[in-house]
Amino acid sequence: MTGYFAELFTLFLIVLVHEIGHVVVARSFDIRVREVKLLPFGGVAEIEDAGSIPAKQDALIAIAGPLQNVWMGLAAWGCGQLGWWDPEWAAYVWKANLMIGLFNLLPIYPLDGGKLLQAAFSYGFNYYSMMKWTSRISIVLSTLMIGFAISTAFWPSNGIQLNLLVVGLFLWLTNWTYYRNIPYLFVRFLMHRDRVAVRTIARGSLARPIIVNIKQPIIGVVRLLWREQYHLIYLMELEGRIVKVVPEKEVVDRFLIERDPNRAVIELFR
C-alpha cells in the first residue's frame, strides 16, 4: 500500500535466511527445531528441550543467525562496489543486514544475544538462577527500550519511535511470561536430566558434589543443579556429619513424584 513492497520482501528474505542459519546448525547437532517464528526484527527458532543440550551447542545455534547477516551484508556491499547493483539498493540491503544482525545480538531473550547470555550464564550459575537472571536482565533492557522509544516524542522535531515501541513491548511481554513460567520450565528441565547423565557416563566425567543440610526442602536441592554437570548430593547434618550420599537422579525422581516440594530432603531417603 505504501509502495515499499520490494523493501519489505527483501527484509522477509533476510530474516528467512537468518533463521535458516539457526535451523541448519541445530540439525547438524541432531536437535529438533519445533517451529520458527518470523518477526520484523528477526525471528525465533524454538528448539526442543533447550535446557538439555550443552551450552556450547546452544551458543553456536544462536550465533549462526547473525553470521548469515554478515555474509549477506558483505555480499550486498560488494555488489554495490562492483556496480552490479544500484548503489542505493546495495546500501539498503547491507544496512538492513547490519540492523537486523546487531539488533538480534542485544542481550534480551529470546533474541540471539539473550540466548548467548543464557549460554554464558550456564557456566557461572545453576540452571534455575540462570533462568531467573536472564529474564530479569531481559525485562530491564526491554523496559529501557520502551522508555527510549517514548522519550523521543519530547525531542525537537521527533515523535514516538513506534517500531521500537512495539518491539520493546513484545520483548517485555515475552520475558514477563517467561519469568512467570520458570517453575514449569524448570520441571521440564528436570524431566530431561537423564540426557546429562548419559553424556557424563559417555565422557567418563567426574560428578560434581552438592552439599546440603538434611533439613533443606527438596525443591531447594534440585534448584542447585547445573546445566552440564551431573551431581552427587551429600546430605549433611549441622554438626558436619555426612548422613547419606544420593545420586542426582534419585533426588530428581523423588521431587517429581513428591506432592510437597517443601518437605525436608532427608525425610525422602530414610
Averaged pLDDT, 96-116: 92
Q: Indicate the SS3 state at residue 169.
A: helix
- Taking alpha carbons only, the member of 38, 54, 68 closest to residue 123 is 54
* Residue 34 confidence (pLDDT): 82
Residue 143, classed as helix, strand or coil, is helix
Question: Which pLDDT band, with edges at 50, 70 and 90, does 42 fall under?
Answer: low
Average pLDDT along the chain: 88
> In what helix (H) or strand (E) does residue 225 lie, and over which residues does it extend?
none
Q: pLDDT band for 32, please (50, 70, 90 cuts).
A: confident
Per-residue pLDDT of 215-250, as tens digits, reads 999 999 999 999 888 899 999 988 888 889 999 999
Residues 19 and 6: their CA atoms lie apart, in Å, by 20
Of residues 48, 31, 39, the one with CA closest to residue 12 = 39
The x, y and z cell numbers of residue 185, run together, are 520450565
Pairing status of strand 42-47 against strand 33-39: antiparallel
Looking at residue 145, its pLDDT comes to: 94
CA distances from 82 to 92, 96, 133, 201 (A): 16, 19, 47, 55
Give the C-alpha separation, 260 to 184, whole Å: 16
Strand partners, 209: 232
Q: What is the mean pLDDT of residues 104-125?
A: 93
How many Å apart are CA 221 and CA 267, to the nearest integer? Answer: 13
User: CA end-to-end span of the chain, whole Å?
Assistant: 72
* Residues 9, 15: Cα–Cα separation, whole Å: 10
The whole-number average pLDDT for the span 11-36 is 89
What mean pLDDT is predicted for residues 135-159?
89
For residue 203, pLDDT over 60 is answered with: yes
Q: Is the pLDDT of residue 94 over 60?
A: yes
CA torsion through residues 52, 55, 56, 60, sign: positive
- Phi, psi of 198, deg, nearest 5: -60, -45
DSSP SS3 for 36:
strand
Phi first, then psi, for residue 33 (nearest 5°) are: -95, 115
Q: What confidence category does residue 49 fall into, taking pLDDT thresholds of 50, 70 and 90?
A: low
Contacts of 186 (CB under 8 A, 6+ apart): 127, 128, 131, 223
pTM of the model: 0.87
